[in-house]
Amino acid sequence: METPHSPELFDKELCDLVLAIAPRIFAVVQECEVRPGLKDGCVAAWGMAFGEGPVHVTTADGTGQMVLNSPERALRWFTRGGGEDGVTARLVWLSRSGGATFDRAEAA
């Protein structure tokens, strides 16, 4: 990366770089049917996907961690009962915010 002529331009370029290579954040949510036609759900884990690289997943309570080849592999760990009348899992991806800052107080 070539340094722009002003500190402001350089800071903007660094923020753009961070946004371009930021990992994607997702949640693994579990769902179950509590009675016919009524579902319940919860966030079971959080994950970070690094481009084509590994996926890091941490349980929502922070007690378990795993490194997987893909986000979809996490679904196996959080689905119980074969999916029928049991607990199923899905991925929910967080949207990119579209902004970056050096100031922690301004960060989302």
Sheet holding 65-68, edge to edge: 65-68, 55-59, 38-49, 24-35, 88-93
**pLDDT given for residue 36 in this prediction:** 87
Q: What's residue 97's pLDDT?
A: 66
Strand, coil or helix: 102 = coil
List, for residues 11-49, the tens digit of each pLDDT value.
999 989 988 888 889 999 999 988 888 999 999 999 999
Residue 92 one-letter amino acid: V
44 CB-contact burial (10 Å; exposed 0-12 / middle 13-18 / buried 19+):
buried
User: What pLDDT, on the 0 to 100 scale, is given for residue 92?
Assistant: 93
Question: Which amino acid belongs to residue 96?
Answer: R
